[in-house]
Structure 1
Amino acid sequence: MSNALIDTAPDFSQPIAVLKHCHDRIRKQLQTLQNLLSHLPQHGADVDAQKAAQAVLKYFNHAAQLHHEDEEHNLLPMLQATARGADASLLAELVPAIMAGHKQMDTDWSIIKTQLEQIANGTSTVLSTSDVARFCDTYAAHMVMEETHIATMAKRLFSAEQMAQLGSAMQVRRGILPGLPRSQVPEQTTIAVNHAVADGVVLADLRLDYGRASLTEQDVLDDPIAQFGKWFEEALHAKVNEPNAMSVATVDADGKPSSRIVLIKQYDQRGFTWYTNYDSQKGQQLRANPHAALLFFWSELERQIRIEGKVVPTSAEESDKYFYSRPVKSQIAAIASRQSAPIASREQMEANYDAAAAASGEQPVRPAHWGGYRLDPVRIEFWQGRRSRFHDRIVYVKQADGSWVKERLQP
């Protein structure tokens, strides 16, 4: 009933091999299920039976679901974006069958799962032969179809870059920060400032093709704030570098724009909040024109979120609450700095800080020129990168009654 030998899985630089390895593990779990059918009548729900049931439950409750998501959200969409001619025709036939197979297996699993849970805790010896047979037969045929057609097509069509994208998406799904190859990390690429060829690459031709996920109208939630929260949680889980960093674009009284990166501190149905110096450049511009645009870009997930709306200062109570939650040195820095104003030297800045620290004592007081801004959104767009710049864009627009209408935009 148990296997003491631990087989070594391929790494995510070989994503198709990883998927095949998952199939092999599924076959082992299916064999354990079939072994249980003969074991239970003779030995009942003994320790071996309980351990076997627990192993099957653990695998199909978690690992098998990740495997299905790899296929549904990455492998199949990438193939559909790449395949042409006969390959595209074959995919049009196979993909609906694969999706229907996943749904059927989920339904069958929910039936077997209940039986296995009782076996796992030793309270039952009932495991339906017909339920197990249906589940095993469906999975077996499904895996053969995928290995015969889908895996071979992917190995034939995908470039090295696409394989890297698929592998890194699979890692992100498992909470692993992907180790992208050097060619996939734009900030590591050296480019000549005169736009000439550098290392064989022309600046205008430098691009990273996307293909980790797709975005449909059915994928997104009806409430854009809830959808933002869903994507933000996924960015945290994927260990995106500073997922709370956003660009804030403002316009001055003469219509000249500027932008900068700040850190979001709160989001809810009222809007998106950050804190700053009210006398800074952005503060002055927001007084002249209280409209702004926010942008989150999470390259690890090939996603961006664009948010537009009107900006208002937060209440003094809210500003106080956040100010006094900050480290004391950050509080002093907010007092000492006339943000965006010229200064002669770093030494002068340090002297200003020391003077503010001496004047503030043990408990600095929030200055009137420092506090929060909240953008009340009227337009929120979710962007998912796709192959050949044929991206997915879903936008929400707020209506006069406060409701949201969503629609797809062309890339």
Structure 2
Amino acid sequence: MSSLLPDTAPDFSQPIAVLKHCHGRIRKQLATLEKLLAHLPEHGADEQARQAASAVLRYFDKAAHLHHDDEEQDLIPMLRAVAQGDDAATLQALAPTILQDHKDMDAMWQDLHEQLTAIAEGAGTALNPATVARFVASYTAHMEREESTMAPMAVRLFSAEQMARLGQSMQLRRGLVDASAPVSPKLGQAVADLRKDYGQATLDEADVLADPIEQFTAWFEQALKAEVNEPNAMTLATVAANGRPSSRIVLVKQFDPRGFTWYTNYDSKKAQDLSDNSYAALLFFWSELERQVRIEGRVERTAPEESDRYFRSRPLKSRLSAIASAQSAPIASRAQLEANYEAVAQAAGEDPARPDNWGGFRLVPERIEFWQGRRSRFHDRIVYQRQEDGSWTRQRLQP
């Protein structure tokens, strides 16, 4: 029903060929799955069926996930870094579909995994024909999409150094090379040579809105429509009393004419920094749209009732985590952290109150800059400055 002999794979010096070879192995496992479906009604979970189920399990439990990670963590980001013009447009349209395919196929695999495990153990003979058909059809269409677009695009666009970097990442993921080994000079140079020539859109003074919050809202809505990965993620930069800056990613939970709001522990490092220095900066970077927004201003705490409303809107487990964690403070182990959570969960009930040391911060903007990537690093930059009377001025900055 299936061959137990390993296929001869291309070398990782040819990473795109390795990815295509993985597709060949996936097709063989899908064929085995279909044969198993036809075999079971007549023969049950005999030795041949158990071996076939085990082979499919081995592949999709591990190798398929490594293949997905190759694409999600390396191939697609590398293509985004070099694709231009029609290639960039094709990739922007295709990448969300590829990523969603992975999620959908993983969900289908969970159902098949239980059935195949029972067959491999000789404890069951049930294999859902509809799930098998959907799984096979989804994987087949998915591979055809990749082979007709992403693979030839990579072969066309990647330099020898980029191919080497992709191959090395794939080997690291499989434990085939030492992760602590120094990067070769050629690979190090490849990092320096990485660049993307932007060209999706323009930003002109005549096109932007008079109010920067309205302009941000328009861009944020476009980021949502473009299915940007976590469009609400922003870098928050603060400065401690000793003058040392630090930054981290937080999620904006509200923005309006008052400013940009996020929530956190008031005993955390960022909260201590803001206690020492109430000025901070935010950065939104939406690579899929070749845009970033820089925001600077003074930070204030939200009103307690506003923090209460948001806290009550959070999922129960998120509220319990906020209570259980003394954010940024050292702890002996993960086990101790889990124990703290369990103790809080038992004591807090179904509607825990917001702790006094948790709440919102709002950055009241004084300067907002909109950046649109353009070709040859000749980017568009429009900056808004708040005036003493609360109005805004805007002007173009040189790239």
Compute the TM-score of the two structures, normalised by the length of structure 2.
0.58
Residue aligning to 1:390: 378
Q: Does 1:327 align with 2:276?
A: no
SS at structure 2 position matched to 1:222: coil
- The within-5 A match list for 1:149-164 is 161-164=84-87
Question: 4+ residue runs of structure 1 moved beyond 2 angstroms?
Answer: 159-163, 165-169, 175-184, 188-196
Please report how far the alpha carbon of residue 196 of structure 1 lies from its aligned counterpart in structure 2 after TM superposition. 2.4
Rate the CA distance shift 1:244–1:193 in 2: closer, same or farther, 3 A: farther
Rate the CA distance shift 1:286–1:371 in 2: closer, same or farther, 3 A: same
CA radius of gyration, larger in: 1
Equivalent position amino acid for 1:197 in 2: K
Residue aligning to 1:165: 88
Residue aligning to 1:59: none
SS at structure 1 position matched to 2:307: helix
SS at structure 2 position matched to 1:283: helix
Please report how far the alpha carbon of residue 168 of structure 1 lies from its aligned counterpart in structure 2 after TM superposition. 4.7
Equivalents in 1 of 2:367, 2:85: separation in Å? 32
Note the alpha carbon deviations across 1:259-283, whole angstroms, 9 max, x for none.
Answer: 0001100000000000000100000
Residue aligning to 2:324: 336
Equivalents in 2 of 1:177, 1:391: separation in Å? 30
Residue aligning to 1:246: 234
Rate the CA distance shift 1:217–1:362 in 2: closer, same or farther, 3 A: same
Equivalent position amino acid for 1:352 in 2: N
RMSD between superposed Cα atoms in Å? 2.6
Structure 2 gap ranges (5+):
1-81, 100-148, 170-180
Please report how far the alpha carbon of residue 194 of structure 1 lies from its aligned counterpart in structure 2 after TM superposition. 4.8
SS at structure 2 position matched to 1:343: coil
Rate the CA distance shift 1:195–1:281 in 2: closer, same or farther, 3 A: farther
Please report how far the alpha carbon of residue 176 of structure 1 lies from its aligned counterpart in structure 2 after TM superposition. 7.8
Rate the CA distance shift 1:266–1:218 in 2: closer, same or farther, 3 A: same
Structure 1 gap ranges (5+):
1-158
Residue aligning to 2:185: 196
Note the alpha carbon deviations across 1:273-329, whole angstroms, 9 max, x for none.
Answer: 000001000000000001110000000000000000000000000000000000111
Residue aligning to 2:283: 295
SS at structure 1 position matched to 2:313: coil
Residue aligning to 1:5: none
Q: Is contact 2:202–2:372 with CA below 8 Å preserved after alignment?
A: yes
Q: Is contact 1:195–1:203 with CA below 8 Å preserved after alignment?
A: no
SS at structure 2 position matched to 1:324: helix
Q: Is contact 2:84–2:199 with CA below 8 Å preserved after alignment?
A: no
Question: Which residue, 337, 347, 357 being the options, matches 1:359?
Answer: 347
Residue aligning to 1:94: none
Question: Which residue, 259, 264, 278 being the options, matches 2:252?
Answer: 264
Residue aligning to 1:368: 356
Rate the CA distance shift 1:244–1:160 in 2: closer, same or farther, 3 A: closer
Please report how far the alpha carbon of residue 362 of structure 1 lies from its aligned counterpart in structure 2 after TM superposition. 2.2
Equivalents in 1 of 2:393, 2:182: separation in Å? 44
Equivalents in 2 of 1:215, 1:303: separation in Å? 10
Percent identity, please.
62
Question: Which residue, 257, 271, 279 being the options, matches 1:283?
Answer: 271
Equivalents in 1 of 2:231, 2:203: separation in Å? 19
Residue aligning to 2:394: 406
Equivalent position amino acid for 1:165 in 2: A
- Equivalenced residue count is 247
- The within-5 A match list for 1:3-42 is none
- The within-5 A match list for 1:222-241 is 222-241=210-229
Equivalents in 2 of 1:177, 1:209: separation in Å? 23
Equivalent position amino acid for 1:298 in 2: W
Rate the CA distance shift 1:305–1:177 in 2: closer, same or farther, 3 A: farther
Equivalents in 2 of 1:167, 1:400: separation in Å? 46
Equivalents in 2 of 1:318, 1:409: separation in Å? 37
- The within-5 A match list for 1:57-96 is none
